[in-house]
Amino acid sequence: MNDPAAFVRTALDDLRAKVPGNAIVAASGGIDSTTAAVLAERALGDRARAVFVDTGLLRAGEVERVGAFFRASHLAYDVADASDRFFATLAGITDPEEKRRRIGTAFIRLFEEEAARHGADRLIQGTIAPDWIESGGALRDTIKTHHNVGGVPKDSKLTLVEPLRDLYKDEVRAVARQLGIPEPDRQPFPGPGLAVRVNGPVTPERVRRARVANDVVESEIERAVAAGEIARPWQYFAVLLDARTVGVLGDNRIHGEAVSVRVVESVDAMTATAMAMPRAVLTRIAERITRQLSGEVVRVLYDITDKPPGTIEWE
Ligand code: XMP
């Protein structure tokens, strides 16, 4: 794609052709799904309705942030509060691929309910090229089991429509800029949310730890960017590891959890480089995480693996 304006014109025609009735848009607040939602609104008006799912796996302040973002983009949306459902379906599951499958199924069942409420038979999703390429499209071996809604099951009444399917992230950002969507360069956040950043069991307690650690990484990196200490990375977050490790609290040895910090530079997420971080920024991150999660997280590591061989998320 070299002309975002031409892409928008074609995408609007395409959406009108593919959506004869009503549609709902799976909207996570990320740049891909927001771009899909704005295109849908322009093409279909009131016939498209954005649905934002509170999975309980979101970052700190995300519901408010996404709401403000949709309002700035002039999008009408519904919030589906489904955290109990997501935690219930993930209870006791440690296999990363099984987690993804279950999250995908929970999403699709929820969207079916929302679609029924709106009399919709189309589900518009912001899938982009790396999502399906890495999900085993184009005859590749499966790298990623699913992208958000892991394919619509055969028994579903919903037909999937994916207006951004052939674009890479930098191209989506150009389209978002063309559409006047705010902050087109903000960092990606995966649809399965903190579940792919909690290794091992996904419990409300462990997600809370991942959320606190993630918030520390985001705020310290943003501070370092604002202070000119580092260039803005592609993505920066924390992962709660499936490890028990020994720490010291006061006069006692305690067992706690470990967090890995991931900061990468990339152009399209197909490859990535672990960022060479100033020691002072990493030290601030480690100090704050272990202080804010005192007695719970006793060790912080920095991931120096590029993609490949590592992926960006740990899963
Ligand atoms: P990986 O971990 O495969 O991630 O190197 C590449 C990029 O994709 C994001 N990601 C996702 N985004 N739904 C999304 O919307 C997903 O299921 C998903 N899995 C990974 C990841 O954050 C990174 O930017």
Which residue lies with its CA nearest to atom 18 of ligand 1?
Answer: 190
Q: Which residue has the higher pLDDT, 93 or 132?
A: 93
Q: Is the CB of 188 under 6 A from ligand 1?
A: yes
| The pLDDT of residue 54 | 96
Measured distance CA(19)–CA(233) in Å, rounded = 37
* Ligand 1 atom with the shortest distance to the CA of 313: 2
Separation in Å, CA 303 to CA 18, 273, 299, 310:
43, 11, 13, 10
| The pLDDT of residue 148 | 54
Q: Which residue has the higher pLDDT, 147 or 40?
A: 40
| The pLDDT of residue 139 | 45
**Reported pTM:** 0.91
Tokens of 253: 């040895």
Check whether 195 has a pLDDT greater than 50.
yes
Amino acid at 106: A
Q: Is the CB of 260 under 6 A from ligand 1?
A: no
Q: How confident is the model at residue 72 (pLDDT cuts 50, 70, 90)?
A: confident
* Ligand 1 atom with the shortest distance to the CA of 126: 15
pLDDT tens column, 104-153: 999 999 999 999 999 999 999 999 998 888 766 544 444 455 555 556 77
| The pLDDT of residue 254 | 97
Mean pLDDT, residues 184-206: 94
